[in-house]
Amino acid sequence: MENLPNEIKRRRDLMKANWVELKDIKSDQQKSVEKPDVIKPYDNTNLIDLPEPDQNDLKIKNIDEVFQIRRSRRQFTDSKMSLTELSYLLHSTQRVQKTFKENIATLRPVPSAGARHPFETYLVILNVQDLDNGIYRYLPDVHKLIYLHTYEGLKEKMIKSVMDQKWAGETNVVFYWSCIPYRAEWRYSIKSHKAMLLDAGHICQNLYLAAESMKYGTCAIAAYDQELSDQLLKLDGEDEFTVYISPVGKQV
Ligand SMILES: Cc1cc2nc3c(=O)[nH]c(=O)nc-3n(C[C@H](O)[C@H](O)[C@H](O)COP(=O)(O)O)c2cc1C
């Protein structure tokens, strides 16, 4: 890195609120530019139904108990995850609860600045009942999955994408959240980037709590290989790219 102190300053600045200095910058929304899709478009054929979540899967229902036992977990059993359990993890992280008029924004179980929810959920399925191993995308408006693709040596490729954190390969499913930044930039221009990173933390926290309540466990991953993760999901790396990863497995 040529000028590390400068780079540190630049990155610290990204962590600060810039609303006051930037109050005169007009966003695309203020310039009446057509709104972006609130969910990445998908082909309606071959969708995979998810069952509704089953309350019986929640082994710990007392929210304070869940807060007290939550940990980042990196050791798992090899039991299969059921589809209702997977359904609950998706339901509690990104499922659309309400769509505003003219599809301008959505509400979900987590907060998001301006209700932009600029994320998509991808799943690397490794050990889930009734699903072939492979890469899927979650469709949060209809609570369904769409199968995308798979690879020879899927698990090994996934492990490489998380910088050789091998414990991730012992899980049932690996959540990858991508960001489509324009969804938030359209409304907040260059004020949106700090907020998008804050938003991502909320999603992962809900995954932690939902997993704990079913005696599963997860561990957030920020130390991942950007290029390999985007390649794994076949994202362009510019208009959509990976921002956070969290593998989920059954607690030992
Ligand atoms: C943003 C973020 C990134 C993290 N990245 C990793 C990671 O790449 N690998 C890992 O093993 N743990 C990672 N962790 C887990 C932390 O190490 C863990 O939260 C911390 O040690 C505290 O433990 P606890 O979550 O059990 O309270 C990450 C946690 C957060 C919140």
Tokens 């990173």 belong to residue: 197
Per this entry, what is the length of the chain?
252
Assess whether the C-beta atom of 104 lies below 6 angstroms from ligand 1: no
Residues 6+ apart with CB under 8 A from 124: 134, 135, 154, 158, 173, 174, 176, 232
Q: Which atom of ligand 1 is nearest to the CA of 71?
A: 26
Assess whether the C-beta atom of 203 lies below 6 angstroms from ligand 1: no
Q: Which atom of ligand 1 is nearest to the CA of 224?
A: 8
Q: Which atom of ligand 1 is nearest to the CA of 208?
A: 25
pLDDT digit string (tens) for 138-147? 999 999 999 9
State percent of the chain over pLDDT 70: 100
- Residue of minimum CA distance from atom 10 in ligand 1: 221
Assess whether the C-beta atom of 162 lies below 6 angstroms from ligand 1: no
Among 67, 72, 163, 243, which is best to mutate for testing ligand 1, by the most ligand atoms less than 8 A from CB?
Answer: 72
DSSP secondary structure string for all residues of 49-111: E-PPP-GGG-S---HHHHHHH--B---B--PPBPHHHHHHHHHTTT---EE-GGG--EE-SS-
In whole angstroms, what separates CA 203 from the centre of its chain?
6
Assess whether the C-beta atom of 222 lies below 6 angstroms from ligand 1: yes
Measure 21 CA to ligand 1 centroid, in angstroms. 33
Assess whether the C-beta atom of 166 lies below 6 angstroms from ligand 1: no
For residue 84, how many C-alpha atoms fall within 13 Å in the half-sphere facing its CB? 8
Q: Which atom of ligand 1 is nearest to the CA of 73?
A: 26
Alpha-carbon Rg for the chain in angstroms: 19
Assess whether the C-beta atom of 220 lies below 6 angstroms from ligand 1: yes
The pLDDT of residue 127 is above 80: yes
pLDDT digit string (tens) for 145-167? 999 999 999 999 999 999 999 99
- Amino acid (1-letter code) at residue 121: T
Domain boundaries, the chain: 4-250
Assess whether the C-beta atom of 221 lies below 6 angstroms from ligand 1: yes
Any idea what DSSP says for residue 221? Answer: B
pLDDT digit string (tens) for 23-55? 888 999 999 999 999 999 999 988 999 999 999
d(CA 206, CA 177): 13
Q: For the residues 118-142, what does the mean pLDDT come to?
A: 98
Residue 1's pLDDT is 78
Give the confidence band of 175 by pLDDT, cuts at 50, 70, 90.
Answer: very high
CATH architecture for the domain at 4-250? 3-Layer(aba) Sandwich (3.40)
Give the confidence band of 101 by pLDDT, cuts at 50, 70, 90.
Answer: confident
Give the confidence band of 22 by pLDDT, cuts at 50, 70, 90.
Answer: confident
Assess whether the C-beta atom of 223 lies below 6 angstroms from ligand 1: yes
Query: Tokens representing 229?
Result: 């993760």
- Amino acid (1-letter code) at residue 142: V
- Residue of minimum CA distance from atom 22 in ligand 1: 72
Residue 20's pLDDT is 87
- Residue of minimum CA distance from atom 28 in ligand 1: 220
Question: What does the mean pLDDT of the chain come to?
Answer: 97
Residue 127: C-alpha distances to residues 51, 201, 207 (Å): 17, 25, 18
- Other C-beta atoms within 10 Å of 82: how many? 17
Are the beta carbons of 146 and 94 closer than 8 angstroms? no
Are the beta carbons of 93 and 203 closer than 8 angstroms? yes
Measure 142 CA to ligand 1 centroid, in angstroms. 31
